[in-house]
């Protein structure tokens, strides 16, 4: 319905000059509608055109140009062009910090989107630094219980986990869950998603610790934890024999099987069994229901990258 209205508006004004204000508004609206439909390539094309028009008319530092550039960066991220999104976000962020200040909502949004682009490129240390900067400001300006603050804290956890800072990530997610349970309630979609994130983080930490110990015992030497593999080929571990090589290989496989099987167990749980455990102070939930609730909530609230 929204896409149909956006296309109807666009078809009515597309013949007007590029700089026409209504035409630019219709184009921007169409870009948003295409994004919601998942037509990210078409959305990128439209947002490129809008940015080019504003850049020519009012210059890069005008709010309309900065806003269109930020929208373009989001479209690039949706297409997996994270390096291009990073470049655009860095340029926009530098101008916004100078003109609007570090605490302006637009500045924080761009900084957060830049952190996402960095994280998706596995630049975890840079992403962590950016997330921490945004989190500190949002905690000070908005308070620790504000939705944007909680979102930033949640986004920081994967950047920590990507650097194998499992304890820090798990601690952060536990603190986040406590706040969401108190402020939003246990049945809120965001609270349940935080529960899933905490459970997954705990499994990753435990599974990686088990594999790491096994690989060390098998004589793997230097390891590359990201792939759950020994740095050396598993078939040619030095002077350890077939039993140790098999042990390392089996544990490597179990690292991922344990995560998959735990997710399957969670899916078999009934939604009626939302009870906190003594060990993790969390809930066992049906992931399919969580995904459905998250989808509904995102549609109602209007999802955004932050």
Dihedral pair phi/psi, residue 179, rounded to 5°: -65, -45
Residue 262: pLDDT above 90?
A: no
Is the pLDDT at 306 greater than 70, yes or no? no
| pLDDT (0 to 100) of residue 136 | 97
pLDDT at position 3, please? 75
Q: Is the pLDDT of residue 111 over 80?
A: yes
* CA distance linking residue 244 with residue 265, whole number of Å: 30
| pLDDT score, position 179 | 93
pLDDT band at 218 (very low <50, low <70, confident <90, very high): low
Query: Per-residue pLDDT averaged across 59-73, rounded?
Result: 94
pLDDT band at 70 (very low <50, low <70, confident <90, very high): very high
At 212, the pLDDT band (50, 70, 90 cuts) reads low
Cβ atoms of 202 and 160 closer than 8 Å: no
Q: What is the pTM of this model?
A: 0.69
Domain range annotation of the chain: 189-306
Average pLDDT over residues 255-261: 47
- Contact by Cβ (8 Å): 174, 198: yes
**Cβ of 285: how many Cβ atoms within 10 Å?**
23
pLDDT bucket at 71, cuts 50 / 70 / 90: very high
Beta-carbon contacts of residue 163 (< 8 Å; ≥ 6 apart)? 124, 125, 128
Whether 250 shows a pLDDT value over 90: the answer reads no
What does the buried/exposed string (b/e) look like for 164-200 if buried means 16 or more CB atoms within 10 Å of the residue's CB? Answer: bbbeebbebbbebbebbbeebebeebbbbbbbbbbbb
Q: How far, CA to CA in Å, does 264 sit from each of 24, 62, 213, 228, 257? A: 48, 51, 26, 21, 10
Mean pLDDT calculated for residue range 86-110: 96
Which pLDDT band, with edges at 50, 70 and 90, does 283 fall under? very low
Distance of CA 218 to the CA centre of its chain: 35
Average pLDDT over residues 107-126: 96
Mean pLDDT of the chain: 76
């Amino acid at each position: 319905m929204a896409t149909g209205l956006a296309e109807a508006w666009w078809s009515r004004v597309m013949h007007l000059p590029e700089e026409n204000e209504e035409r630019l508004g219709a184009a921007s609206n169409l870009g948003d509608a295409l994004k919601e439909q998942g037509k990210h390539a078409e959305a990128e094309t439209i947002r490129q055109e809008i940015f080019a028009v504003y850049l020519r008319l009012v210059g890069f530092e005008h709010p309309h140009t900065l806003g269109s550039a930020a929208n373009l960066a989001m479209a690039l991220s949706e297409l997996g062009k994270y390096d291009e999104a990073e470049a655009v976000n860095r340029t926009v962020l530098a101008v916004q910090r100078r003109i609007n200040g570090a605490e302006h909502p637009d500045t924080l949004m761009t900084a957060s989107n830049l952190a996402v682009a960095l994280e998706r490129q596995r630049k975890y240390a840079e992403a962590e630094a950016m997330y921490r900067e945004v989190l500190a400001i949002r905690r000070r300006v908005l308070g620790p219980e504000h939705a944007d603050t909680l979102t930033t804290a949640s986004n920081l956890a994967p950047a920590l986990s990507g650097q194998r800072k499992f304890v820090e990530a798990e601690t952060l997610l536990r603190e986040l869950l406590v706040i969401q349970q108190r402020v939003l309630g246990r049945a809120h979609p965001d609270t349940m998603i935080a529960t899933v994130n905490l459970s997954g983080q705990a499994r990753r930490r435990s599974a990686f610790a088990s594999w790491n110990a096994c690989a060390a015992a098998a004589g793997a030497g230097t390891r590359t934890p990201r792939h759950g593999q020994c740095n050396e080929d598993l078939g040619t571990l030095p002077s350890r024999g077939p039993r140790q090589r098999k042990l390392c290989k089996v544990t490597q496989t179990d690292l991922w099987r344990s995560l998959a099987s735990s997710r399957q167990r969670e899916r078999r749980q009934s939604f009626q069994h939302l009870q906190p455990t003594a060990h993790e102070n969390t809930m066992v939930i049906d992931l399919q229901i969580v995904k459905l609730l998250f989808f509904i909530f995102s549609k109602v609230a209007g999802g955004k990258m932050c």
